[in-house]
């Protein structure tokens, strides 16, 4: 058995246990394999183990990987989960099957135009910032930009809103992490009631270190990298 297969088996057991504890069906939680920094071969092996949804955080990195995937590329869905600069919208719209890190009105408009040019409807999630870490990206849900974006989205037909995404603050501890996930779910419920033309079905929250808490708080998609593929090399400076 390969390391990936072993990791996946262990992960599936932990997901099943978290679902049971939360009284939820396993089928309610979609597993996204976060393949950033790992080579195309790792993605191909994951595909052979029936993983189908992948997350990447850089346009440039996935441009190269996508070429290397060759024939395998159409068999997987890959979403961008990292911050997108609006000048890379065209490339991202071509390259990805979804953008889970939409965080401004300006980016939504650029991305919609770019998706239109490649005759694509692009599934998107709004990445929500729920803490005040200075370095963190994401949309402040109380901002004027958020309000404008929510008003505008129904008129951007190339973008198909599917829900919300968040990353828990680093080192928040169990209670802080849980509070963050609970806040995302509450926001989703509030926005779903207020914006009936928009779809908020997906709650993408939880990573290798905190997915059981996310499942307990209602995650419908968890994003797991290191618990599947192993630890990542140190980030480039």
Ligand X SMILES: *Cc1c(COP(=O)(O)O)cnc(C)c1O
Between 89 and 208, CB nearer to ligand X = 208
Between 81 and 108, CB nearer to ligand X = 81
Between 163 and 225, CB nearer to ligand X = 225
Q: Are 147 and 125 in contact (CB under 8 A)?
A: no
The encoded tokens of residue 126 equal 């709004």
CB of 22 to ligand X, least distance (A): 19
Site for ligand X in 154-183 (CB under 6 A): 167
CB of 104 to ligand X, least distance (A): 17
Site for ligand X in 178-237 (CB under 6 A): 207-209, 223-227
End-to-end CA distance of the chain: 35
As a dihedral over the C-alpha atoms of residue 115, residue 102, residue 194, residue 143, rounded to 10 degrees, the angle is -130
Site for ligand X in 48-107 (CB under 6 A): 57, 81-82
The encoded tokens of residue 183 equal 């806040």
CA distances 200 to 19, 57, 146, 167, 184, Å, are 21, 22, 15, 17, 11
Between 100 and 158, CB nearer to ligand X = 100
CB of 71 to ligand X, least distance (A): 26
Query: How far is 199 from 206, CA to CA, in rounded Å?
Result: 20
> Does residue 111 bind ligand X (CB under 6 A)?
no
Query: How far is 27 from 19, CA to CA, in rounded Å?
Result: 9
CB of 91 to ligand X, least distance (A): 19
- Residue 182's Cβ-count burial label (10 Å; 0-12, 13-18, 19+) is middle
Q: Which of 11, 31, 33, 34 binds ligand X (CB under 6 A)?
A: 34
Query: How far is 181 from 178, CA to CA, in rounded Å?
Result: 5
CB of 15 to ligand X, least distance (A): 13
Between 137 and 199, CB nearer to ligand X = 137
Between 96 and 158, CB nearer to ligand X = 96
Footprint of ligand X on this chain (CB under 6 A)?
34, 36, 57, 81-82, 167, 207-209, 223-227
């Amino acid at each position: 058995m390969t390391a990936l297969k072993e990791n996946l088996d262990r992960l599936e057991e932990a997901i099943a246990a978290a679902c049971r504890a939360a009284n939820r069906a396993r089928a309610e939680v979609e597993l996204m394999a976060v393949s950033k920094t790992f080579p195309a071969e790792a993605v191909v092996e994951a595909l052979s183990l029936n993983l189908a949804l992948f997350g990447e955080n850089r346009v440039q990195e996935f441009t190269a990987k996508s070429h290397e995937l060759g024939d395998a590329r159409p068999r997987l869905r890959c979403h961008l989960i990292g911050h997108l600069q609006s000048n890379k919208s065209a490339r991202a719209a071509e390259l990805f099957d979804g953008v889970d890190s939409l965080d401004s009105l300006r980016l939504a408009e650029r991305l919609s135009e770019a998706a239109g040019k490649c005759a694509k409807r692009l599934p998107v999630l709004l990445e929500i910032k729920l803490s005040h870490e200075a370095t963190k990206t994401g949309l402040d849900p109380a901002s004027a930009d958020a309000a404008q974006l929510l008003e505008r989205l129904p008129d951007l037909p190339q973008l198909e809103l599917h829900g919300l995404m968040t990353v828990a603050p680093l080192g928040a501890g169990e209670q802080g992490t849980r509070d963050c996930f609970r806040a995302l779910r509450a926001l989703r419920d509030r926005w779903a009631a207020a914006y009936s033309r928009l779809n908020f079905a997906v709650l993408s929250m939880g990573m290798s270190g905190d997915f059981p808490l996310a499942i307990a708080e209602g995650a419908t998609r968890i994003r797991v990298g290191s618990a599947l593929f192993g630890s990542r090399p140190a980030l480039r400076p």
